[in-house]
Structure 1
């Protein structure tokens, strides 16, 4: 009994000589000039073109990926900073957001050229507290080396001590008129220290007229008048004849 496994879907392979003869018979039957190129050559050329096509397709994919990624090499981050404590005269707190498709390599800030420390909230958000008026520069650098710089003007911070408007004496008292434009006078913090170290308190504090009254001392007294931002005006009052 013949146990040969026959598969009707399998196409039998032809040897080169039989294949060439079959091809020539087809050309002759169709009254076409017989093929002068050996079938082996045609098969080799077909295999070569197939490999070349695959290589060309791979190169096309690589070029396409490069064209898609190329703009990222020149992509600059966007900086958005917003002051959160607009009513404060002590310092200016800014929330900084860096928008970029790439990871952030670094963020820095300066105020009038002096570096200030940043608090990192997450990979693309930061906080900074500015203690003085001036020009705030924020620089953000992406992983591709591209960077952006944003400038902000910090204003309305109280950096000045209270201003002495005038002083005068009357009926055994000295009247001191002061003014602070931004944060205002810290009247509760006003104090005096005599030369012997004893504390001298104001006799009267008139907030409406911005006037502080002390009794004329028998020895020199150093008066400290602070504002609400911590700036302090020092005045020395002395005994009068």
Structure 2
């Protein structure tokens, strides 16, 4: 087995010294798409922020390429990690082309992934639709030598066709370029179609860990028991294994 691109060991994280996520172990290997599911407030975004280096762990460790790291986000990004959020992280006053250039992305590859961007290259990013901005953010992340992709609700509020394009691009990045991806995604059925494995967070703890096929076979139970649950109040507002 190859060394995981990402591994958390006993990770506890939260805010002001109060843990929201408790003792979780997650792995992502090269070429693997892993979905992190849970009700709103379960701790998904807190987990991604900690893995990305935006939050410091309260306890436990984050390993990237087998090495424990406490580096901040910008240093992890230089080492091949990309973090795409729901917030459409583009430079609104720069053109689409300039956004790709500043992000050290391959423009030809980006417009191959999303042909919709080609006629938009001269247009300011602030004038793009939400879906076009997210295509720009994701294409920039996928075409600059990224090894590990973190994505937090990248399809939030977008049309089904756009959601399909975004998730298909993530799957292609894993299959063609060996990118490992950890996705928090509201479209559960859609993400299970492109994921290899799944972790389910419930009140800050992993309650299910298994293949996407196993999650699909138990999806009714998972949705009724965990995904429809009321969100606890200790996570940022906006997000033992079950052996079967």
Instruction: Name the TM-score, length of structure 2 as normaliser.
Output: 0.19
Please state which structure has a larger fraction of its residues in helix.
2
Q: Which has more radius of gyration?
A: 1
The structure carrying a bigger strand percent of its residues is: 1
